[in-house]
């Protein structure tokens, strides 16, 4: 018994000890090493050509596409959805520091990081310099946008420590000269075009883009000599042309036939073929197969494709009216912009009294009241629109009006849902969230190539040749007056639009007025109006940004108000909270 017990005891002790020791050893021997499974370790990165390619792609992802949002803070357009941004607040001089109108530096950091890190990559110096030039271009672009909005901004060209000293804003002049000198320098490095091989993809930033952006920047800065010089470099390069079409498709032909309701071609001495092709050339330059870097008018292209991560919602659901599938009408052009489209003579402006417009609109609306959509299409397509009082306002106008704006009763046959006549319901202004409240919707830039019924896959011309021509004309007038060079550039746009040439004898102020209005028309919806009304000066801005804008039924779209503080946007409180020194250097009036 005793022996048995002792044995038992020993057995259980041995057993227990070995189990305990085993467990202890097992645990101690376990490794604590883990590796990040989905990210690349920084050590050993930035060595190969492919590393640089991937880093560069991240920089391209920051490139600006459509810029319509700024437009809605001006007299061109409106958004009735306050939750989408403080657009109407700005139009009404109601912006406060609670809103951020684009004060951000994440893209700048990505650019600076690339510029720093690409140095260690094993590629030729030439390629390295070119890749750096592409990114320096993007950085200069971001700084142009920043200084346009906020004036003084901190100029950052290195990757900052997160706990480094708080930065002050740098002088406007310093930022501006940085933008101009960088763009001048990269223009000497970047190639005119790419051969479309790996790392030389066609859509990359070119020398032309650098000159063109520099021309834009210099114009915004009021540096007309440099603006002319850079714009001229683009023009003289011979690389770019305004986009034109030579034949019309069936839908376009159908609309062309209907245009007789709107244009008295004979009486006005207008070449119908040129006018119609002008209209559709202007419209089609954003569409379908034309929307690629190969388009001769595209100087800088933001590329999109049929893939969730890289599509453009703005040009599809947000821009379309609710009558076109899925439309939100979040961005709507206003009467002020309609008023800016030339008479078909190309130099006079129309004005219709609001009360008469309301009366005329009520009359024509009564004629289609109660019709269903089919009945409406049947009715409108057979209607004698020509003699309708309301339609008179839209008769014999600049071809770009028809390509840019859908106004009530106008037909558009090339939509992705076929024939469409715009039927604006005045009773929904101020009530219905997805109906335009201004009476108008965009047609220009609205994508015809949907992705999953909600987004656009069409590439977007971030900089197009038309802008360069306008920049050149304006700068040239400032520098040398309304001479033949200015007129040549200007008339290229008229010729494409199928519109008459500009008058030849104009004084400098008249020529400037002409160009400014042409610019407003040609570039409508592309975001330039924000900078333009400011660089034309406080008086100009104050004039155009004061007073009420109404819809055709008299609904108050917005009661515009201006004060000088709006020349710049406030440094947002969210930035001041993180960098209190900015609070001592707030823009005036905030």
Partner 1 sequence: MINRFGLSFFVGKNSRLATIMMLGILASNQVSAKIILPFDNIIFQQNITGHVSANSESIAGVTITIKEKPTVSVSTDSNGNFSIPAIKGQTLIISAIGYTTKEIIVDGAIANIDLSTSNQALEEVVVVGYGTQKKVNLTGSVASLDLSTVQNRVQPNLASAIQGTTPGVTVISRPGAAASVNIRGRGNLGASSPLYVIDGAISDGTVFSNLDPNNIKSVSFLKDASSSAIYGSRAAYGVILVTTKKGIEGKMSISYSGYMGYRSPTYLPKVVNSTQYAELMNEGMFNRDPSKGMNQAYSIEQLEKFANGSDLDRYPNTNWFDLALDKNVPTTNHSLNFSGGSKKVNYFTALGFNQDQSFTPGSKSKKYNFQTNLSSEVTDWLTIKGNVNYIRNQGDVTNGLPSLMNFLIAPPTMVAKQSNGEWGSIAGGQLATQTFLNANPLRAYSKNNWSNSTTENTIYNLGFDLKPIAGLILSGQGIMNRYEYKSKSYVALQDEVKNFNTGAAIPGTGVYTNQMSMDWRSRQRMQFLATAEYSKTIGDHDFKGMVGTSYENMQYQALGASRKNFPIDGLNDLNAGSIAGPDITNNGGMEDNKLLSYFGRINYTYANKYLFEANMRADASSSFHKDNRWGYFPSFSAGWRLDQEDFLRDVSWIQNIKVRGSWGKLGNINNVGYYDYFQTYAIFPAYSFNDQAVTGTKESKPANKGLTWETVTMSNFGLDASFFQGKLGITADYYIKETNDILLAYNTPIEVGLEKNPSQNIGSVSNKGLELTLTHDNKIGDFKYQIAVNMTTNKNRITNLGGSDNMISNGGDKIRYINKVGEAIGSYYGYVTNGLYTQEEIDAGQYYRFGRVPNAGDIKYVPQREGVQYKEEITGEDRAIVGSDVPTFTYGINLNLEYKDFFLSVFGQGVNGTSVGFESEQVWALFLNSAPREYHLGRWNMANPDPAAVYPRIYGGSSLDNYNQNFSDFQLFDADYFRIKTITFGYALPKTFANRIKLGGAKVFLSGENLFTIRQDKKMKDFDPESSTGRGLGALGVKSIALGLNVNF
Closest distance of CB 235 from partner 1, Å: 27
In angstroms, the CA 585 to CA 590 distance is: 10
DSSP H or E stretch at residue 26: helix 2-29
Question: b vs e for 497-506, b when ≥16 Cβ sit within 10 Å of the residue's Cβ?
Answer: bbbbebeeeb
Name which of 258 and 416 has its Cβ closer to partner 1. 416
- Which residues, including other chains, have CB under 8 Å from residue 101's CB and lie 6 or more apart? 86, 90, 95, 149, 569, 570, 572
Q: Nearer to partner 1 by C-beta: 67 or 416? A: 416
Q: In the bound complex, what is the minimum distance in angstroms from residue 12's beta carbon to partner 1?
A: 5
What is the C-alpha to C-alpha distance for residues 374 and 258, in angstroms, rounded to an integer?
18
∠ CA 272-276-278, nearest 5°, is 115
Contacts of 254 (CB under 8 A, 6+ apart): 411, 413, 419
Nearer to partner 1, 248 or 576 (CB): 576
Burial class (CB in 10 A: 0-12, 13-18, 19+), 86: buried
Closest to partner 1 by CB, 193 vs 510, is: 193
DSSP 81: -
- What does each C-alpha distance from 114 to 265, 467, 497 come to in angstroms? 56, 30, 42
The string of DSSP letters for 323-366 reads TSTT----SEE-HHHHHHSPBTTSS------HHHHHHHHHHHHH
Alpha carbon distances (Å) from 568 to 68, 74, 146, 292: 18, 13, 10, 34
| Cβ-based nearer residue to partner 1, 484 or 574 | 574
- Give the list of residues 6+ apart from residue 96 with CB closer than 8 angstroms, or none: 89, 570, 590
In the chain, what is the greatest distance between 2 CA atoms, to the nearest angstrom?
130
CA dihedral 386, 391, 396, 402 (to 10 degrees): -110
Which residue lies nearer to partner 1 by CB, 11 or 386?
11
CB of 202 to partner 1, least distance (A): 6
Give min distance, CB of 250 to partner 1, in A: 22
Beta strand 405-406 pairing with 441-442: antiparallel
Task: Report the residue number, 435 or 518, with the smaller CB distance to partner 1.
Answer: 435
Q: Which is nearer to partner 1, 257 or 305 (CB)?
A: 305
| Distance (Å, whole) CA 76 – CA 15 | 88
Whole-number Cα distances in Å, 73 to 64, 379, 572, 590 = 18, 37, 17, 17
Rounded to 10°, the helix 508-522/484-497 angle is 30
Taking the complex as a whole, the smallest distance from the CB of residue 369 to partner 1 amounts, in Å, to: 11
Element (H, E) at 462: strand 460-464
Instruction: Tally the C-alpha atoms within 13 A of residue 44's C-alpha that lie toward its C-beta.
Output: 3
Q: How far is the CB of 177 from partner 1 (least distance, A)?
A: 20
Of 274 and 377, the one with the shorter C-beta distance to partner 1 is 377
Residue 413: partners with Cβ closer than 8 Å, 6 or more residues away: 251, 252, 254, 255, 419, 420
- Spatial contact of 57 and 131, defined as CB atoms under 8 Å apart: no
Q: How far is the CB of 262 from partner 1 (least distance, A)?
A: 26
Q: How near is the Cβ of 571 to partner 1 at its closest, in Å?
A: 10
Minimum distance of partner 1 from residue 395's CB (angstroms) = 29
**Is residue 111 classed as helix, strand or coil in its secondary structure?**
helix
How far apart are CB 590 and partner 1 at their closest, in Å? 7
Residue 389 Cβ vs partner 1, minimum distance, rounded to whole Å: 22
1 vs 250, which CB is nearer to partner 1?
Answer: 1
Residue 55 or 208 with smaller CB distance to partner 1: 55
Q: How far is the CB of 30 from partner 1 (least distance, A)?
A: 5
- The least CB distance from residue 16 to partner 1, in Å, is 4
Residue with smaller CB distance to partner 1, 37 or 382: 37
Between the alpha carbon of residue 333 and those of residues 80, 105, 437, 552, the distances in Å are 11, 30, 10, 13
DSSP secondary structure code for residue 37 in this structure: S
Which of residues 87 and 342 has its CB atom nearest to partner 1 in the complex? 87
Nearer to partner 1, 28 or 188 (CB): 28
Residue 130 or 528: which CB sits closer to partner 1?
130
**Cα 99 to chain centroid, rounded:** 20
Query: Closest separation between CB of residue 33 and partner 1, Å?
Result: 7
CB of 534: closest distance to partner 1 in angstroms?
Answer: 19
Three-class SS state of 576: helix
């Amino acid at each position: 018994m005793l022996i048995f017990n002792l044995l038992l005891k020993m057995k259980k002790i041995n057993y227990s000890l070995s189990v305990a020791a085993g467990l202890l050893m097992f645990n101690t021997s376990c490794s604590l090493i883990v590796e990040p499974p989905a990210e690349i370790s920084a050590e050993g990165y930035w060595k190969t050509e492919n590393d640089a390619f991937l880093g560069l792609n991240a920089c391209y992802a920051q490139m600006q596409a459509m810029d319509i949002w700024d437009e809605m803070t001006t007299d061109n357009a409106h958004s009735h959805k306050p939750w989408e941004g403080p657009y109407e607040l700005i139009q009404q001089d109601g912006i406060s520091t609670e809103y951020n109108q684009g004060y951000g530096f994440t893209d700048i950091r990505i650019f600076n990081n690339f510029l720093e890190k690409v140095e260690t990559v094993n590629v030729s110096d030439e390629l390295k310099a070119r890749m750096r030039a592409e990114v320096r271009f993007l950085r200069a672009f971001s700084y142009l946008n920043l200084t346009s909005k906020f004036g003084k901004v901190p100029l950052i060209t290195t990757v900052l420590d997160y706990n480094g000293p708080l930065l002050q804003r740098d002088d406007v002049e310093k930022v501006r000269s940085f933008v101009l000198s960088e763009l001048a320098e990269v223009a000497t490095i970047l190639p005119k075009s790419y051969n479309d091989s790996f790392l030389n993809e066609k859509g990359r930033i070119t020398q032309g883009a650098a000159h063109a952006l520099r021309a834009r920047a210099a114009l915004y800065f009021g540096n007309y000599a440099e603006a002319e010089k850079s714009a001229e470099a683009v023009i003289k390069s011979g690389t770019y042309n305004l986009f034109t079409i030579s034949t019309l498709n069936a839908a376009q032909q159908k609309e062309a036939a209907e245009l007789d309701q709107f244009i008295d071609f004979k009486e006005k001495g207008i070449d119908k073929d040129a006018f119609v092709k002008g209209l559709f050339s202007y419209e089609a330059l954003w569409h379908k197969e034309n929307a690629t870097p190969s388009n001769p008018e595209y100087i800088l292209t933001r590329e999109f494709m049929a893939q969730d991560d890289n599509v453009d919602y703005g040009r599809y659901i947000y821009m379309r009216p609710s009558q076109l599938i899925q439309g939100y009408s979040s961005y709507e052009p206003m009467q002020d912009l309609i008023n800016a489209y030339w008479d078909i003579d190309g130099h006079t402006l129309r004005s219709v009294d609001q009360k008469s417009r309301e009366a005329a609109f009520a009359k024509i609306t009564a004629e289609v009241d109660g019709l269903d959509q089919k009945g409406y299409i049947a009715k409108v397509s057979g209607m004698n629109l020509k003699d309708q009082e309301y339609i008179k306002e839209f008769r014999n106008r600049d071809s770009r009006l028809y390509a840019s704006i859908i106004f009530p009763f106008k037909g558009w046959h090339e939509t992705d849902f076929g024939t469409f006549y715009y039927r604006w319901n005045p009773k929904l202004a101020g009530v219905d969230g997805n109906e335009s409240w201004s009476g108008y919707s965009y047609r220009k830039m609205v994508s015809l190539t949907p992705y999953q019924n909600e987004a656009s896959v069409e590439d977007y011309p971030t900089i197009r040749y038309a802008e360069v021509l306008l920049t050149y004309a304006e700068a040239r007038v400032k520098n040398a007056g309304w001479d033949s060079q200015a007129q040549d550039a200007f008339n290229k746009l008229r010729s494409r639009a199928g519109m008459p040439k500009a008058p030849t004898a104009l004084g400098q102020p008249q020529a400037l007025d002409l160009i400014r209005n042409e610019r407003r028309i040609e570039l409508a919806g592309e975001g330039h109006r924000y900078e333009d009304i400011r660089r034309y000066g406080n008086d100009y801005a104050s004039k155009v940004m004061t007073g009420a804008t109404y819809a055709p039924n008299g609904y108050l779209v917005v009661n515009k108000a201006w004060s000088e503080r709006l020349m710049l946007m406030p440094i947002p409180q969210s930035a001041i909270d993180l960098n209190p020194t900015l609070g001592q250097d707030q823009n005036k009036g905030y």
